[in-house]
Structures are given as structure tokens and as C-alpha cells.
Chains A and B, each alone.
Chain A
């Protein structure tokens, strides 16, 4: 599991300092603090940003909104963001709200408010509401990552690193090359959200990353995966054999 990369866009050091403290204390990885619109764009394009915290006013101009508008305009490059503001001025909010999805954090804020705002922003951006805030689930699935709530903080897992998933009632055991962990998510949701060109169901309790398959032994109903992992192949899902390119 990796920490979430946060880009902070805040022109005043005295305000960004406590923000950074809180973020690092909660295992967020701050990849940079931008003081201007230009610097923010540079940082954004040169780093793998997962989420941005944007102060609306940079040097007295609402450049923060301009930044959000800019990154929203680039397809496939948009990321979740949270507006930071000390005023609830209506005109300003009406403009900021046009940069959907809209989440904001009012200054002064405490630790809980910050973490809540970040979680809400991720939920809204990936259109999977009530994941972190409810009790039923704790994982949001994007194209590249699983975002998992661990304690107070958010973590991410690169989907490509998943070898296989074993489902156990409401829980899913995720096996990656490095580790094994449990997430709370329903099977149907994980099946619809994961890229089904890569992930295949082999058994009612197994979802396998086809790129990690090393050998399939149909007679034993067994799939051998990288890292000595094994998964079961049931008759119902034997179609998988046709889909996988095999060396002959």
C-alpha cells in the first residue's frame, strides 16, 4: 500500500505549514506546495498527483478556481481536488461550484475536517458515494488504483500489482506481490469496477489478474500465479482458458 500524493496550492506559508503537518501526521504524502498558478500547473504535470488542495485566493486573485478549471479541462488527467477558503462569499462559491465535482474546506479547519474533505472529494470524483463515510465499505476503485481507508487515513494500491482477490462474504482478501490485506467491498461492485480485460473470475470466490497467471492446470482445477500464489478454477468459469494467450 502506498500513501496518497497530495499537491498543496497555498500562497501563504503560515497557512500551509499546519496543513502540511496535519497531512504528514495522517500519512499523506505531500508532493509539493505551489505558491502560484503557474507553479501549481508545473507540479501537477510533473508529479503523480492523487489529490490537490487548492486555496481559492492566490495573491488576492481567485487563481485557485482557474487552476481547477484548467485541470478539469484536460481529459484523463483530471484528479480530485478540494477548495480551501476562508470566506463563504456567495458569488465566489457560485463560480467555484461550476468546477464539478465541488468540495471545499472552510478555514479555520481541524484535522477531522481536512481528512473528511479529502475523502468526500475522492468519493465525489470517482462517483462512488458513501464509501468512506458509511460502515459497509472502505474502498474506492479507480482505473489505476484502489483507494482504501485505513484508520483515519487513505491509502492506495496499484491495481496492476494485485495478483488475485479472494472473496469472503463482505470482505475481500487482496494479494499483491508485497503484501496481503483485507478490504470491505461487495463482490458485485468489485467486478463491475475492475477492468474485466485484466481481471477474471475463476471461481465464485476468486478473481485473478490474468497477467499474473503462470500456469493453469485444468485437471486439478488449479491456477498457478506469480509469487507462488494459487487460485482455484471452477468448471463454471473455465471459459477463461479461451481468453488467455497460451504458449504452445
Chain B
């Protein structure tokens, strides 16, 4: 039945003013800024934390007062009344807004039902700070509180003027709720003094006013109060009507609450459903993503697989081609080898056969003591044997060259000595055939070559020159210089050869040249061997020839520098 009235209006203005006045000081203490910010945002806990920091650090009394104020207010908002009281008490007398903090302190005392203390505080505010309180709101509030304090102290006479003035003020303010409260305050005042008529008039006023508001709680309270009033007047019918109205308001209030709750629940449910849908969609999306990624990966894998397969296929084709090419060359080489075999064995067979018949003749001549014939026969035999030996020697070197087993070392060589050494073996043969021989290679001619292969080349060239020479012919060996090369020339005045033969002889193929002069033993192996060795010695082989006049075999080898 007792209503404590508090004013909320005007408070915000005052708070704004307070925070503004302290913002000037934010430069001095860093935490102050945060404190003010949190205070403005009504984050009370944070405000408490930052302000406590400031208190522990700061010495500025002014700032400290503000902090205590912020803390007190925050505690008050958090309904920690005792803490709040302590903080407000800590604020010094000099605090600019002391009246405001004192007012809050007084209200705390009222809350604590320490009405005497509250009254002291409020009266002190009225006495000391009368001039300072520029806000009528706050002044009214203080007066109202004084009235309330007197009321609770049961000093009804003292309370009456304060509460009446409050009612007047509220009427002029046209704040229905506060007006209702003011009416109640007066009604209660008179009621407790048993001035029931006066009290009832205020109650009724309040009840009428409550009809103008939407506040169900106010309507309910008004109806309840009227019910009690009518009950006390023993007007039970009316009391019952008011009681019913009270019930009605109470129900509608609870209904409103229920509807509100149901709406809240429905909302929650709808949100949940939506959330579920969203979740479902998300899951679907994820599944789709996974599916898409899977497809992508499998496509990639397939592509790579295809690439690899293609690569290997190409490689296989390449190797296959190489193998085919190699097979062809090998076949050609094998054919050459077979041909070589047949020619060599044919030549050797005829040589040995000639030797056989010659030996038979030799024996018969020996029996017949025909010594003159022996000499010619032996000469012929040695010629045949020489030819066969050269053939076998070439064959050996050919084999060595093919298998690369032979020692090969290019070094500076004096050409003269090599030609002398090689031609030395042919001296008897040359004499026998009536050929003149001339070695005019300069002693100073030095070339780069492998000695043994150079000897083989020279041997074959001389061999050919003698073989294709006509009786009383001439064979010359000489050198000419051609840039970085030294041309070693073996010249004969023999049968010569056609240009076609030269081209076939100089061809890069390993095919053996056909025999042009059937009656002269030769396989073409010698020339092939020369060509290969000259190439290996970094030289060049060329032939100049005129049919019937003679041939020049030219070996160009690098000179020593």
C-alpha cells in the first residue's frame, strides 16, 4: 500500500552535464576516457573496473570525486546499495555536483529505510545548495524525498506541504504516472491520518488518472487501492467491482505477459526452424561442393592419366622408330660384312690356290732341275703372299677399328720419316715392277695423326698405286700446304678411274665398291679402311683421277701449330 516515488526525468540531463564537465580532464588520466565511454554506454562493470584503476593511480581530487561518483552510480544501477553508499560517502564536500550525489545517497537511505539519515541529507542539500540547484527537477525531487521521509517517519504534518507541492508540480508537468504516484502519496498520507475523505478523493483521482494511461500495472494498482478503500467503507459491492476490475487488469497483464511469452516462443521456434533450414541448406551446399570437387579431381586425374599415357605412347613410338632405324643400319652393316666375308674368302681362296699351283710347278721344276724357272716362280709366290698378307692385315685393322679396341693416340709426327718407313717395304716390289719411286716429302712437314693408322693409310695408298700402275710407270709422294692442313699426295701414272668410281669410293656408306678391274686382286676394303682412319684422324680424303693417265690420292691432315 506504500509507494515510494522516484523521479527518473531530469536525471539524464544531469548525468550528461557531469560527464561533459569531466571530459576536460581525460588528457591527464588515460583510463578516464574509457571509464566515461563505458559509463555513457551503461556498461557498469567495465566502468567499475576502469574507475578502480584510476583510483589506485590518480591523485587528482577532482578526478577521484568523479570516479567515486561513477562507481556509486554504477553500483546503484547494479542494485548493490551498500557499496554504492560507501562510494557516495567518499565524495568530498567540494565536488561540483555534490548535491546530486547527496541526493542519490539520500535516496539510498530511503531504500535502506534509514529515513532519519535520509531526511538529514536532503535538508542539508536544501540548506547548503539551494542556490546551486538550477534544475527545478532536482529541487522537486529533493522536496518530494523530504516529504516521503517525513511520511515514513510518521511526521505527517511536516510531510503534507512537501507532498502537496509535489502534486502541484506533477500536475503542471502533466506526467500521468508521476501524477498518479503523487496522488497516492497524498492519499496514503491522509489515509494513515484517518482523514479518509481526503484520502479517498486522492485515491479516486489516481484511479481516474489511471484510466488515461496504458500502463496495466498502474490500472491494476488503482483498482486494487479502490477495492481496499471501498472495502473499508463497507461498500462491498463497489469493492467487489473494483476487485473484479483488479483481477481483470491482473489477468490482462498476465495475459499480455503470456501472449508476449507465446509470441516470444513462437518467434524462437520460427527462428529455430529457419536456423534448421539454413543448416540444411548449408549442409546441402557442402554436399554439392564436395560433389563438385570430387568431379573436378576425377576429371583432373583422368586428364593427367591421359597425358601420361600419351607421353609414354609417344616415347614408345620414338624408341620404336629408333629401333627400326638401328635395325636397318644393322642389317645394312651385316650385309656389308657378309659381302666382305665372301669377297675376302674368295680372294684368299684364289691366292692360296695360285700358291698351290705355283708350288706344284715349283716342285716339278725342281725335280727337272730347271733352276731358271724357280726364280720367277718364287718371285711370283712372294708377290701372291704379300698381297694376301696385306689383305689379312687390312681385315684385322678393319675389325679393330669396328670394335674400337685399338690404341689410338694423335701426336705430332714428321711425315717424311713415316713415308720413308712405309715405302721401305715396297722398294723391292717397285724395283721388280720397274716403277720409279720418288719421296719428296719435306723433312719439316709435321702433322697431327696417330702413327699406326697413318702407316696403314699410306700402305694401302702405295699398294693401290703399285697395283694400278702400268709397267715403267712412276709413283710420287709429296706434300702441299693448304691452310691449316697438309695435303699428302700419292700420285701414280696408272690406269686411273672414272668419276663415277670416285664418287662410289668416296661415298659415306660402308658399302664396298664393286671391282672395276676383275683381274687385279682387290676388295675395296683398303680404300674403306683409309677413309675411316682419315676421318678418325680429323682428316679429309679426296681423289683426283683421269682414266688411262693416272690417279692422285690426297690425304689432308691437320698441321701442327
**Residues of A in contact with B (beta carbons under 8 Å apart):** 88-90, 92-94, 97, 106, 110-113, 116, 133-135
B421 interface residue per 8 A CB criterion? yes
Interface residue from A92, A110, A134 paired with B421 (Cβ < 8 Å) = A110
Chain B residues with CB under 8 Å of A106's CB are 452, 455
The chain A residue sitting closest to B455, CB to CB, is A106
B contact residues around A92 at 8 Å (CB): 407
A111 CA to B407 CA, complexed, in Å: 23
Supposing A88-B400, A116-B417 touch, asked if A134 and B424 sit within 8 A by C-beta, the answer is no
Can you identify 19 A-B contacts, CB atoms within 8 angstroms? A88-B400, A89-B406, A89-B407, A90-B404, A90-B405, A90-B408, A92-B407, A93-B407, A106-B452, A110-B421, A110-B424, A110-B425, A111-B424, A112-B417, A112-B420, A113-B424, A116-B417, A134-B443, A135-B444
B406 surroundings in chain A (CB, below 8 A): 88-90
Asked if B405 and A112 make an inter-chain contact with CB atoms under 8 angstroms apart, the answer reads no
Which 3 A-B pairs have CB atoms at the shortest separation, nearest pair first? A93-B407, A112-B421, A88-B407
Cα-based distance from A190 to B232 in the complex (angstroms): 163
Given contacts A116-B417, A133-B417, A135-B444, 7 further A-B contacts (CB under 8 A): A90-B406, A93-B409, A97-B409, A106-B455, A112-B420, A113-B421, A116-B421
Instruction: Compute the total of residue contacts between A and B using a CB distance below 8 Å.
Output: 38
Residues of B within 8 A of A (CB): 400, 404-409, 414, 417, 420-421, 424-425, 443-444, 452, 455
Q: Which residues of B contact A88 (CB under 8 A)?
A: 400, 406-407, 452
Q: What residues on A are CB-neighbors of B405 within 8 Å? A: 89-90
Interface core residue of A94, A111, A133 (most chain B CB under 10 Å)? A133
Residues of A within 8 A of B424 (CB): 110-113
Closest A residue to B404 by CB, please name it: A90
Please tell me which one of the listed residues A93, A97, A112, A135 contacts residue B443 in the complex, with CB atoms under 8 A apart. A135
Closest to B423 in A: A112
Q: Please give me the residue from chain B that is nearest to A116 by CB atom.
A: B417
A44 to chain B, nearest CB (A): 26
- State in angstroms the CA–CA spacing of A94 and B406 once bound together: 11
Instruction: Give the complex CA separation of A88 and B405 in angstroms.
Output: 8
- Chain A residues, CB < 8 A from B404: 90
CB distance from B529 to the nearest CB of A (A): 14
Q: How far is the CA of A111 from the CA of B421 in the complex (A)?
A: 8
Q: Residue of B at shortest CB range from A114? A: B421
Nearest A residue to B418, CB-CB: A116
Give bound CA distance, A105 to B143, whole Å.
Answer: 143
- Chain A contacts for B443, CB-based, 8 A: 133-135
Q: A93 — which chain B residues lie within 8 A by C-beta?
A: 407, 409
Give the chain B neighbours of A134 by CB distance below 8 A: 443-444
Question: What is the minimal beta-carbon distance from A136 to any residue of chain B, in angstroms?
Answer: 10
CA distance A111 to B417 in the complex (A): 12
Docked CA distance A74–B444 (Å): 36
Chain A minimum-CB-distance residue to B427? A110
Most buried by A among B414, B417, B444: B417
Q: Give the shortest distance, in Å, between A60 (CB) and chain B (any CB).
A: 19
Residues of B within 8 Å of A90, CB to CB, are 404-408
- Bound complex: CA of A198 vs CA of B420, how far in Å? 41
Most buried by B among A93, A106, A113: A113
Min distance, Cβ A248 to any Cβ of chain B, angstroms: 55
Expressed in whole angstroms, the Cα–Cα distance for A113 and B404 within the complex equals 25
- Choose among A88, A89, A111 the residue with the greatest number of B CB atoms under 10 Å from its CB: A88
List of B residues within 8 angstroms of A135 by Cβ: 443-444
Measured CB to CB, the closest approach of chain B to A184, in angstroms, equals: 14
A161 to B408, CA, bound (A): 44
Shortest Cβ distance from B484 into chain A, in angstroms?
21
Report Cα–Cα, A235/B425, bound state, in Å: 57
Residue of A nearest to B443 (CB): A135
- Among A90, A97, A134, max chain B CB count under 10 A is at A90
Q: Cβ of A89: which chain B residues have Cβ within 8 Å of it?
A: 405-407
Residue of B whose beta carbon sits closest to that of A130 = B414
Please name all residues of chain B whose beta carbon is closer than 8 Å to the beta carbon of A116 when the two chains form the complex.
417, 421
CB closest chain-B residue, reference A117: B421
A10–chain B nearest beta-carbon distance, Å? 20
* Interchain CA distance A116-B420 in the complex, whole Å: 10
A122 to chain B, nearest CB (A): 15
CA distance A135 to B404 in the complex (A): 37
Chain B nearest CB, measured from A67 CB (Å): 20
CA distance A106 to B406 in the complex (A): 13
Distance from A229 Cβ to chain B, minimum over Cβ atoms (Å): 35
Q: Give A96's nearest chain B residue, CB to CB.
A: B407
Could you tell me the distance between the alpha carbons of A90 and B404 in the complex, rounded to whole angstroms? 9
A127 to B: closest C-beta gap in Å: 15
Contacts of B444 in A (CB 8 A): 134-135
Shortest C-beta distance, B237 to chain A (Å), equals 142
CB of B390 to closest CB in A, whole Å: 12
Residues of A within 8 A of B400 (CB): 88
Q: CB-nearest residue of chain B relative to A93?
A: B407
User: What distance in Å separates the Cβ of B408 from its nearest Cβ neighbour in chain A?
Assistant: 8
B414 touches A133 (CB 8 A): yes
> CB-CB < 8 A to B407: which residues of A?
88-90, 92-94
**Taking each of B425, B443, B455, which has the highest tally of chain A beta carbons within 10 Å of its own beta carbon?**
B425
Minimal Cβ-Cβ distance residue in B for A133: B414
| Complex Cα spacing A92 to B417, Å | 26
CA distance A135 to B416 in the complex (A): 12
Minimum Cβ distance to chain A for residue B480 (Å): 20
Q: In the complex, what residue of chain B is closest to A135 when comparing beta carbons? A: B443
